[in-house]
Structure formats: structure tokens, C-alpha cells
């Protein structure tokens, strides 16, 4: 059969699929066992009519799928991998399947689709694409999902677009695999959205989307640029243990409920500039393998970067860490910012940052230069922190208590450590004149050099690290 003849047949069949069917809107009512009170019409007859129409229309999809699967099998032979979707024979690859604006009111699970266009389609009742395979480009742009939508385990071999689509029920994409670019830009998810264990092998764009219910992206795996810029998360957003191999864009996004990124890996640049979190933000044990930009970010209530590793430059300049008044029901909720045990392998910039609650850098490591120039604190705890090069605390302000660089007991002292191999002029401690509290500084000596440090801090020799003892063996007396 020639390609033109095949396309003519396909067009005739897809036209049938696009034909309006009024009973489609009553699908969920008619699939119930009993009619609702006051049902207009003959419930039993409408049930039978709906089932017959569902069977007819789904049969069209099944026939398409059977031929696509046969073409795939003959083209690919037996060489298949878990996620690789074999190519379709040339004639089938050129065919277009236009379901645009169609009413879809039946399941389409575990079927094969080729160049499928569902733009502006309306899915009445559950939209079931469980385990489906999409060859060629697939479009769901401006589609309306009136109930739950399941694309669990679906495979998208080429570009797929959901831009401007609306999911009124839950959206199930867990375990889905996108081999090419995927667009979810300006999509609205009214129900819960589940992208857990999804694999995005190419660029993914979810910019300016809105998640009105919980969004689960745990164990998400993105191989290329992933954009969540200017996205609004109205409920909890979970990205736990996700892997972003390339750049990840969250700039200007808003998290109105907890944002959880714990144990995730950012392989490329992580862009969170201007992000706003209205409740807790959890970045504990996250690894940033490249630069991390949180400049101008706004954090509210509690921020946990404990154990995070920043392998590239970390920028928190002009970021605000805000504590809000709590109700009696929230009195036990933590507030403040936690950077305990965080590691900054390159430069760290907290210049002009604002901390309106306590911030802890206990056991944090600043391997290179760190700047708090112009930062405002209520209180800050740097006990057991390690500074490897410069530390700039000029023009800082402390509202309630002076910063702590020492503590603990005599048996277990907790002293901030400053490298004696740095230039003494690179350690700068000077609060703003109007600051209610400032630095109590003294001197410490090591390697025949004298440094001005906060009282209680010590100098250490970086060359004296003892792997067995897990400590530096050449350390000065505390500054006094």
C-alpha cells in the first residue's frame, strides 16, 4: 500500500474518533452500578450505548496499535533494551494520527501510538495510558483531563508536548520514560502529580506550570536541561533522591508548602535565583557538583542544608532567611537555617544575606573564600567550622547575640578553625557601627604567624591532617 493511500485510511478512521459523542460527558455516571437520583434518560440504554461506542472507538486504536507493533517488530528484530523503543518502518513513521479535539472516554493502556496528536482533546473520566508506547512526536497541548490521568510506565520515543494542558484529577507519570524532549510548560495540575522514578533523557520544560496539589518528583532522573523556572507549587513538592545530570532551572519558582530536595544530585548548574519558599526547604545531604545559585532567594520558616556538598561556587548573596511569628500549634516547628556539616569546596558568597532567625554553620567546611560582607544576623553559630582561605565578615550586623566561634566543654571543645597558611589580611571581622552586637576578637599564633580571630577560634595547619585520628594535629591555642 502506498503512503498516500495509507494516510487516507488513517484520516478517515481518526475522523471517526474526533466525532463528538454527547454521552461521553456522562461516562463516570454511566459506569456506575446504579443511576444517580434524578437521572434524566434511560440509564440502562445509555449504559449500553456508551459501552458499544467505547468498544468501537477503542477497536480503532487497537488496530492502529497492532499494525504499529507489527511494523516495529519487523524493523527492530529482537534487539530491545529496557527503555529503548525500536523505530517504526519508514511508511508508518510518516503517517500522522490526528486526534485533536477528540472526546476520549475509554482506556488506551498498553497501546502503540505513532505521531499522535491529542491537542485540545478532552479526556472524560480516567485517562488511562498505562504502559503505552509513543513513536514519533506526541502532542497533548491544551488537552483537558477531567479526571485522573495515568501514564505510569509509558514510553515516549520522540518529542512530547503537554503545554497548556489541564489535569483536573491526579496525573500519574511515575516510571514514565521520555527519550526525547518533553514540554510541560504552562500546564495546570489541579490534582496530585506523580513523576516519581520518571526518566527524562532529553530537555524537559515545565516552566510557568502550576501544581495545585502535592507534586512527587522523587527519584526523577534528568539527563539534559530541566526547567522548572517560574513554577508555582501550592502544596508539598518532593524531589527527594532525584538526579539532575545537566542544568536544573528553578529560578523564580514559588513553593507555598514544604520543598524537599534531600539526597538529590545536581550534576550541572543549579539555578535557584529568586526562588521563594513559604514553609520549610529541605536540601539536606544534597550534592551540587557544579555551581549553585540561590542569589536573591527568599526562604521562610526553616531551611536545612545540613550535610550538603557544594563542589562549585555557592551563591546566596542577597538571599533572605525569614522567621515568621508562629501560632501555639506551630511552637515546636523548627525555624532558622541549618548549614551544619555542609561542605563548600569552592567560593561561598553570603554577602548581604539576611537571617532573621538563628543560623548554624556547625562543622561546616569552607575550603576557599567565603563572604558574609554586609550580611545581617540575629545570631550565628560557627563552632567547629573550618575556614581554608579568606573569610570576610565586614559590615555584618547581629541583632540579638554576638556570633559564636567557640563552645562545648573543656573535654570536648568546639572551636572554629582558620587556616594558618592563609594571608592574615584575608580574615576580616568588623560589624557595622549600628549593630547591637559585634565581634570579640583576640590573637592566635601558629607557623610563626599572628592572626586576629574571634575569641575562642583557633588556627590550624592544613598539612597536619591525620587520617587515622581524623583531625589536624597542629593547632594553636584559642584566640584571646
- Using one digit for the tens of pLDDT, what is the confidence trace for 447-477? 999 999 999 999 999 999 999 999 999 999 9
Give per-residue pLDDT as tens, 124-137: 999 999 999 999 99
Q: Say which residues have a Cβ less than 8 Å from residue 320's Cβ, sequence separation at least 6.
A: 297, 298, 299, 353, 354, 356
Q: How confident is the model at residue 163 (pLDDT cuts 50, 70, 90)?
A: very high
CA dist 210 and 185 (Å) reads 9
How many separate domains does the chain show? 2
pLDDT at 323: 83
Contact 166, 193 (CB under 8 A): no
Tell me, yes or no, whether 478 lies in a domain: no
The torsion angles phi and psi of 21, rounded to 5 degrees, stand at: -145, 100
Residue 382 lies in a domain: yes
**Do 165 and 17 belong together in one domain?**
no
pLDDT of residue 89: 59
Per-residue pLDDT, 329: 43
Same domain, yes or no, for 71 and 101?
no
Task: Taking residues 214-225, report their average pLDDT.
Answer: 98
Residue 313 resides in a domain: yes
Say how many CA atoms lie within 13 Å of 358 toward its Cβ. 10
Confidence of residue 411 (pLDDT cuts 50, 70, 90): confident
Q: Examine the domain organization and report whether 439 and 339 are in the same domain.
A: yes
Domain end, chosen from 46, 76, 106, is at 76
pLDDT band at residue 327 using 50, 70 and 90 as cut-offs: very low
Tell me if 479 is assigned to some domain: no
How many percent of the chain have pLDDT more than 90?
87
Give the per-residue pLDDT at 325: 55
| Same domain, residue pair 64 and 111 | no
Q: Identify the pLDDT of residue 87.
A: 56
Question: Are 413 and 454 in contact, with CB atoms under 8 Å apart?
Answer: no
Instruction: Please count the other Cβ atoms lying within 10 Å of the Cβ belonging to residue 326.
Output: 12
Is there a single domain that holds both residue 263 and residue 190? yes
Distance CA 114, CA 96 (A): 7
260: pLDDT strictly greater than 60: yes
- Does position 330 have pLDDT exceeding 70, yes or no? no
C-alpha span between 163 and 207 (Å, rounded): 10
Comparing 93 with 150, the larger pLDDT belongs to: 150
Within a domain: residue 238?
A: yes
Residue 452 lies in a domain: yes
Do 36 and 180 belong together in one domain? no
**What is the model's pLDDT at position 413?**
84
Question: In terms of domains, do 52 and 109 share one?
Answer: no
Is 310 a residue whose pLDDT tops 80? yes
Pairing relation of β-strands 336-338 and 193-194?
unpaired
Residues 387 and 465 in one domain: yes
Please give the pLDDT value at position 1: 63
Same domain, 72 and 139: no
Burial of 411 (0-12, 13-18, 19+ CB in 10 A): exposed
Residue 203: inside a domain: yes
**Residue 126 belongs to some domain of the structure:** yes
Domain of residue 27, residue span = 3-76
What's the whole-number mean pLDDT along residues 401-422? 88
Distance of CA 296 to the CA centre of its chain: 18
Residues 23 and 165 in one domain: no
**Above 90 in pLDDT, residue 9?**
yes
The pTM of the full predicted model, rounded to 2 decimals, is: 0.91
Q: What is the pLDDT of residue 73?
A: 67
Instruction: Examine the pLDDT at 296 and tell me if it is beyond 90.
Output: yes
Q: Are 404 and 381 in contact (CB under 8 A)?
A: yes
Q: What is the mean pLDDT of the chain?
A: 93
**51 and 164 fall within a common domain:** no
pLDDT over 80 (residue 74): no
Confidence of residue 81 (pLDDT cuts 50, 70, 90): very low
Judge if 71 and 167 occupy the same domain. Answer: no
Amino acid at each position: 500500500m502506498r503512503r498516500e493511500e495509507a494516510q487516507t485510511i488513517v484520516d478517515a478512521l481518526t475522523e471517526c474518533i474526533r466525532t463528538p459523542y454527547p454521552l461521553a460527558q456522562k461516562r463516570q455516571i454511566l459506569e456506575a452500578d446504579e443511576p444517580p437520583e434524578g437521572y434524566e434518560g434511560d440509564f440502562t440504554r445509555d449504559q449500553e450505548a456508551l459501552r458499544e461506542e467505547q468498544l468501537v472507538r477503542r477497536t480503532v486504536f487497537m488496530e492502529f496499535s497492532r499494525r504499529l507493533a507489527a511494523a516495529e517488530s519487523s524493523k527492530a528484530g529482537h534487539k530491545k533494551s529496557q527503555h529503548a523503543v525500536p523505530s517504526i518502518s519508514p511508511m508508518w513513521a510518516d503517517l500522522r494520527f490526528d486526534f485533536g479535539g477528540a472526546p476520549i472516554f475509554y482506556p488506551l493502556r498498553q497501546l502503540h501510538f505513532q505521531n499522535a496528536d491529542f491537542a485540545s482533546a478532552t479526556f472524560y473520566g480516567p485517562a488511562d495510558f498505562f504502559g503505552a508506547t509513543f513513536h514519533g512526536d506526541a502532542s497533548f497541548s491544551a488537552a483537558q483531563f477531567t479526571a485522573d490521568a495515568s501514564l505510569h510506565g509509558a514510553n515516549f520515543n520522540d518529542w512530547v508536548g503537554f503545554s497548556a494542558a489541564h489535569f483536573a484529577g491526579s496525573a500519574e507519570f511515575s516510571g514514565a520514560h521520555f527519550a526525547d524532549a518533553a514540554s510541560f510548560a504552562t500546564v495546570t495540575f489541579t490534582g496530585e502529580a506523580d513523576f516519581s522514578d520518571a526518566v527524562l533523557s532529553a530537555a524537559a520544560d515545565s516552566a510557568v506550570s502550576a501544581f495545585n496539589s502535592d507534586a512527587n518528583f522523587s527519584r526523577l532522573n534528568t539527563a539534559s536541561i530541566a526547567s522548572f523556572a517560574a513554577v508555582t507549587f501550592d502544596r508539598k513538592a518532593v524531589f527527594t533522591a532525584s538526579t539532575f545530570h545537566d542544568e536544573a532551572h528553578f529560578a523564580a519558582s514559588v513553593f507555598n508548602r514544604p520543598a524537599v530536595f534531600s539526597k538529590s544530585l545536581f550534576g550541572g548548574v543549579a539555578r535557584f535565583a529568586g526562588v521563594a519558599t513559604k514553609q520549610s526547604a529541605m536540601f539536606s545531604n544534597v550534592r551540587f557538583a557544579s555551581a549553585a545559585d540561590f542569589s536573591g532567594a527568599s526562604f521562610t520558616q526553616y531551611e536545612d542544608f545540613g550535610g550538603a556538598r557544594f563542589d562549585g561556587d555557592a551563591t546566596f548573596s542577597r538571599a533572605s532567611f525569614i522567621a515568621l511569628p508562629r501560632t501555639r500549634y506551630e511552637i515546636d516547628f523548627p525555624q532558622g537555617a541549618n548549614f551544619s556539616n555542609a561542605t563548600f569546596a569552592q567560593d561561598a558568597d553570603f554577602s548581604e544575606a539576611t537571617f532573621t532567625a538563628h543560623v548554624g554553620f556547625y562543622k561546616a567546611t569552607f575550603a576557599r573564600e567565603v563572604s558574609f560582607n554586609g550580611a545581617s544576623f540575629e545570631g550565628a553559630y560557627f563552632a567547629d567550622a573550618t575556614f581554608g582561605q579568606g573569610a570576610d565578615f565586614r559590615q555584618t550586623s547581629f541583632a540579638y547575640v554576638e556570633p559564636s566561634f567557640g563552645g562545648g566543654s573543656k573535654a570536648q571543645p568546639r572551636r572554629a578553625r582558620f587556616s594558618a597558611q592563609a594571608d592574615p589580611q584575608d580574615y576580616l571581622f568588623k560589624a557595622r557601627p549600628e549593630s547591637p552586637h559585634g565581634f570579640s576578637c583576640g590573637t592566635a599564633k601558629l607557623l610563626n604567624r599572628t592572626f586576629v580571630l574571634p575569641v575562642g577560634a583557633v588556627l590550624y595547619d592544613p598539612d597536619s591532617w591525620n587520617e587515622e585520628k581524623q583531625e589536624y594535629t597542629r593547632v594553636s591555642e584559642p584566640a584571646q
